[in-house]
Structure 1
């Protein structure tokens, strides 16, 4: 008996030789998570995850249906989609690139692993956020380093000065400069992200 062929995917990367910048909001939106959050979320999703791109710096990118994640607000998570006044691009590797350390498909693209259900992904990312950073404090917090308000306050440990022993917060860019739970957390900075993403007005 001949097995039924795998159903064709509605989209696959056309470039088979190199990473290609493709516009978010056309075939899919993309959800980017910093390594610490992304790894936890990937474990929580298990077999329910869709395809996942991991770039050479560590962040993970899930593909979701267009418009299903635009209102999300989670620490160290970004949604890449088509905006009114600009286009956002994601560096997409060829489907055959499934091994690192360069940008690759961490979960290979297939008929069984294509778009991730947005609400399942949100649930996994929200749980990973709480496990990694604790509860989100009420109100906007100032980054201890730059003294600017941040919507993504990350608790950090200060080793000197009047803040020793107190709970203080840093923005994602500056969080990498402080210890948290006895270690320095990797932060997804704008400079790192810009190497893998692009925007055009």
Structure 2
């Protein structure tokens, strides 16, 4: 397994720089409402910086380039509608990056946690999990698609069937699960009636 390089830092200078995503880093953008919840989970655990744009009410996290594509796509696809991914691709996405020393508003600035690790790049798998929780707190539990407990992919109500089964092999008892019909067949679980 290759070590992830989290050592990027903003270019020197006193001015905001407009940089292309997908080269030195990828980025994700969320509303400030979602970010406020996310900060509560991230501070003390993933102590990396975030870019705050108070005028547009957005917060950006920078991630090592190309790692979102390497992570399970479902992790990020499920967040669509609440999270915008800025990566390399057919279209070039640019992001205004504040200078390293700009740590407070009123304009574009870095949000630095109290116990800052010194990192400007976040870990994608951890951040996606935290953002899913923050979205649920901000917009309600039904804001994101449910996950199939067998394959961990998104599960919409029209795809779900109810089955009796074990979520984990170590579970002592079977319990009701909502899963994809294909997952139920592959796991040899007996489907009850489709959920409505």
Q: Same fold by TM (over 0.5)?
A: yes
Matches of residues 1-201 of structure 1 in structure 2 within 5 Å? 10-47=7-44, 48-57=46-55, 58-70=57-69, 71=73, 72-73=76-77, 74=79, 75-83=81-89, 85-107=90-112, 112-134=118-140, 135=142, 136=144, 138=156
Q: Which has the greater radius of gyration?
A: 2
- TM-score computed with the length of structure 1 as normaliser: 0.58
Aligned residues: 130
The runs of at least 4 aligned residues of structure 1 exceeding 6 Å deviation read none
Q: Is the 8 A contact 1:98 1:106 kept in 2?
A: yes
Unaligned runs of 5+ residues in structure 1 are: 1-8, 141-201
Q: Is the 8 A contact 1:50 1:63 kept in 2?
A: no
Structure 1 residue 98 displacement after superposition: 0.6
Structure 1 residue 16 displacement after superposition: 1.4
- TM-score computed with the length of structure 2 as normaliser: 0.59
Unaligned runs of 5+ residues in structure 2 are: 1-5, 146-155, 159-196
Shift in CA distance, 15/129, structure 1 to aligned 2, threshold 3 Å: same
- Name the CA distance, whole Å, in 2 between partners of 1:36 and 1:107: 17
RMSD: 2.3
Shift in CA distance, 131/117, structure 1 to aligned 2, threshold 3 Å: same
- Name the CA distance, whole Å, in 1 between partners of 2:87 and 2:28: 9
Q: Is the 8 A contact 1:29 1:80 kept in 2?
A: yes
